[in-house]
């Protein structure tokens, strides 16, 4: 199954420093997913101009997933591509105005540009399942505010921290579409993106 390295080197124009930046990002982005109560997908522009390719994905441990299938190794469909294009071109966090009800579950999508050295090298799609929406507690509001602050740091190129090594021991690289099992998580499978019914399987 493809890893972030495999996909980035084979299908994007990202350089070594860009790929290392993305490795640092995905090593620490569980915090963003959990504070956001949302799934995260990391998209990178394909080198042949065919669109955006999913190179990593993460589910939250704090809430329900909005994506039943794994999307790593698939291209974004038209709706997702518009979101990703706007986040990249305008270099700002951009949210779809209306939830997506494709699978009968309302999903709010946001695009978070990943900035390094003044360039947007990728975009995180943050997908929130609104099916369990209720009046949030004060603690939950604090979590969401912290997530928004962290997302802004990613968009401004301030996270992961420039010039500072990651504060963890990196495990041997595993397929990015298969997160380790844990509380609130299930092992993933690399496959087509059925969640929105708009992706094209990478061949």
Residue 138, token pair as written in the block: 């004060």
Reported as a single tens digit per residue, the pLDDT across 67-86 is 888 999 999 999 899 999 99
Reported as a single tens digit per residue, the pLDDT across 2-48 is 899 999 999 999 999 999 999 999 999 999 999 999 999 999 999 99
2: Cα separation from own chain's centroid: 16
Angstrom distance (rounded) from CA 115 to CA 117:
7
Question: What's 23-36 look like in SS3?
Answer: HHHHHHCHHHHHHH
Q: Can you give the pLDDT at residue 131?
A: 87
Instruction: Supply the pTM of this predicted model.
Output: 0.79
Strand-pair partners of 114 = 122
96 compared with 33, residue with greater pLDDT = 33
How confident is the model over 179-194, as a mean pLDDT? Answer: 39
Give the residue from 129, 152, 7 showing the smallest Cα distance to 71. Answer: 7
How confident is the model over 100-117, as a mean pLDDT? Answer: 92
Helix H or strand E encompassing 90: helix 78-90
126: Cα separation from own chain's centroid: 6
Lowest mean pLDDT among 67-71, 73-77, 118-122, 146-150: 67-71
The Cβ of residue 158 has, within 10 Å, a number of other Cβ atoms equal to 12
On whether the CB atoms of residues 184 and 171 are closer than 8 A, the answer is no
How confident is the model over 139-163, as a mean pLDDT? Answer: 92
């Amino acid at each position: 199954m493809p890893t972030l390295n495999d996909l980035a080197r084979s299908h994007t124009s990202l350089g070594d420093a860009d790929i290392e930046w993305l490795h640092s990002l995905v090593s620490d982005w569980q915090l963003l997913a959990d504070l956001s109560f949302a799934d995260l997908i990391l998209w990178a522009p394909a080198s042949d101009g065919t669109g955006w390719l999913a190179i990593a994905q993460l589910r939250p441990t704090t809430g329900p997933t909005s994506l039943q299938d794994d999307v790593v190794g698939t291209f974004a469909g038209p709706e997702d591509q518009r979101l990703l294009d706007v986040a990249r071109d305008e270099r700002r966090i951009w949210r779809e105005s209306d939830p997506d009800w494709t699978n009968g579950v309302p999903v709010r999508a946001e695009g978070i540009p990943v900035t390094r050295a003044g360039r947007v090298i990728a975009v995180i799609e943050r997908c929130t399942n609104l099916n369990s929406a209720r009046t949030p507690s004060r603690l939950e509001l604090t979590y969401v505010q912290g997530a928004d602050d962290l997302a802004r740091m990613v968009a401004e190129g301030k996270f992961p921290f420039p010039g500072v090594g990651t504060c963890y021991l990196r495990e041997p690289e595993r397929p990015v579409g298969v997160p380790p099992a844990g509380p609130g998580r299930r092992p993933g499978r690399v496959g087509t993106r059925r969640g929105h019914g708009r992706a094209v399987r990478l061949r």
